[in-house]
């Protein structure tokens, strides 16, 4: 238990932080009566058909109305060709990738197959499990309720959940909504994830948080969570009287035209076409039924979506759907709140990142001097990564249905090309332009990303 002088110091620090957040949140209500813009059509490339963005997409980003152009030589055909090579000979069973830039979808395709036992081609409407990419939906859902005046970022969790307790009363009283969504609960990393994987029910896990070991007071340090993060779903229900899943569908999925998206195991299994998870077996990739465990923590890991859906998600978070997500709200969600130096590991992270932080359901990186808003996810048989480069109004999402880490090297390849950084061979596939890497030497094992190697949602 801290002394009085420590408490005063903590309170002053938190007051300063809230002072930074609240001016952004104030006035972040959606603009009423915004007229939808005409559909935005991307220029066709030889390797992909014309793609059309949803009605309502605004060409100019409200976050960055004057973005820098992507660097000379940025060519989506290069990345599409690399993706195709990744699924050749079932190096991985399948994947999907979308690239949006300047309010347009410039690439949106599926590669490979949904299931090695009953192969169907993956297309832009094939549904994948998002794992921890779901956390960005939880932050956004909460932000919409902040806009409505239903919740405040500095609202204490126990105001909505009076039966919730941490190890001591002072910590319990301290914990805020923003703390939960930025992994500043004060618990050690991944508290009770093993119990969750062991099929202990969510309610029992939240009750056990009263006895969980702590690393710091709430708000004072970072500790990645899935169970504690999902308390936000209970807060949403307490504040609105509507289940979290229903609120996400009503406030996010439907308005953004994310028509393939759903929540929960039932949601993915009801999809007309969905990608089965795959693990390595003696004879190659083996498909499985999705494990239900992390679906029990829906805010942390419960969303399913197609690459078409995720293209809309990138456009919205890039500031092209102000009728749904306003500029002040997006600025709040993407603002770094706590340092996460442990993220500066893994092949491309170690070489490219000079700082890493967590915001509200998003990670924020200094990527070779350029801000990147990012999240990754992994559960058994599924992985995914998404990133936005605000200065270039660029968004990238890659989803795949296997435990392989190989496709992770595609993301820094795209970011490097957009920025104009010297080429690095992050993947062990030959690029579309055979001369692109001619002067580059070999690097460590291609595509391996140690920071995304666990089965738990990241």
Closest CA to 413 of 447, 442, 443: 447
pLDDT in tens, 342-393: 999 888 999 999 999 999 999 999 999 999 999 999 999 999 999 999 999 9
What pLDDT is attached to residue 346?
84
pLDDT at 159: 97
Q: How far apart are CA 120 and CA 122, in angstroms?
A: 6
The pLDDT of residue 54: 52
**Which residues, given as ranges, of the chain have pLDDT below 70?**
1-55, 430-458
For 99, list phi and psi in degrees, rounded to 5. Answer: -130, 125
pLDDT digits (tens, 9 = 90+) for 83-108: 999 999 999 999 999 999 999 999 99
pLDDT at 444: 24
The architecture that CATH gives domain 76-114+121-420 is: 3-Layer(aba) Sandwich (3.40)
- Cα angle at 139 between 251 and 166, to 5 degrees? 125
Domain boundaries, the chain: 76-114+121-420
Burial of 60 (0-12, 13-18, 19+ CB in 10 A): middle
pLDDT of residue 431: 58
Taking the model in full, what pTM does it have? 0.85
């Amino acid at each position: 238990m801290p002394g009085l002088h420590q408490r005063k110091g903590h309170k002053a620090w938190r007051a300063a932080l809230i002072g930074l957040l609240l001016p952004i949140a104030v006035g972040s209500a959606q603009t009423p009566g915004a007229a939808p813009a005409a559909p935005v059509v991307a220029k066709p490339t030889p390797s992909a058909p014309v793609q059309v963005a949803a009605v309502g997409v605004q060409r100019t980003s409200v976050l960055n109305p004057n973005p820098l152009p992507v660097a000379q030589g940025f060519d989506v055909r290069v990345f599409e060709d690399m993706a195709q090579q990744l699924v050749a000979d079932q190096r991985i069973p399948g994947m999907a990738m979308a690239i949006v830039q300047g309010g347009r979808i410039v690439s949106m395709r599926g590669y490979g197959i949904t299931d090695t036992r009953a192969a169907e081609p993956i297309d832009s409407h094939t549904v994948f499990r998002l794992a921890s990419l779901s956390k960005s939906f939880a932050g956004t859902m909460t932000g919409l309720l902040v806009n409505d005046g239903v919740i405040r970022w500095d609202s204490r969790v126990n105001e909505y959940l009076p039966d919730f307790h941490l190890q001591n009363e002072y910590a319990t009283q301290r914990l805020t909504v923003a703390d939960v969504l930025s992994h500043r609960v004060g618990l050690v990393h991944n508290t009770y994830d093993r119990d969750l994987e062991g099929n202990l029910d969510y309610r029992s896990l939240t009750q056990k948080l009263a006895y969980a070991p702590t690393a710091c007071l709430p708000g004072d340090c970072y500790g990645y969570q899935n169970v504690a993060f999902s308390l936000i779903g209970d807060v949403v229900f307490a504040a609105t009287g509507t289940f979290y899943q229903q609120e996400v569908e009503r406030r996010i999925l439907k308005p953004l035209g994310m028509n393939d998206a759903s929540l929960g195991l039932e949601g993915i299994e009801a999809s007309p076409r969905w990608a089965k998870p795959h693990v390595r077996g003696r004879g190659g990739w083996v498909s499985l039924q999705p494990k239900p465990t992390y679906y029990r923590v829906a805010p942390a890991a419960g969303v399913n979506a197609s690459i078409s859906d995720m293209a809309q998600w990138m456009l919205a978070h890039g500031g092209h759907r102000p009728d749904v997500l306003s500029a002040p709200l997006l600025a709040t969600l993407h603002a770094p709140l706590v340092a996460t130096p442990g993220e500066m590991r893994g092949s491309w992270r170690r070489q490219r990142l000079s700082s890493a932080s967590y915001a509200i359901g998003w990670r924020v990186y200094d990527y070779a001097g350029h801000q990147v808003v990012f999240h990754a996810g992994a559960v058994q048989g599924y992985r995914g990564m998404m990133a936005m480069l605000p200065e270039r109004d660029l968004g990238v999402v890659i989803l795949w249905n296997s435990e392989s880490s190989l496709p992770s090297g595609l993301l820094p390849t795209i970011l490097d090309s957009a920025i104009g950084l010297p080429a690095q061979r992050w993947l062990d596939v030959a690029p579309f332009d055979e001369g692109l890497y001619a002067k580059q030497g070999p690097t460590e094992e291609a595509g391996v990303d140690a920071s995304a190697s666990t089965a738990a949602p990241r």
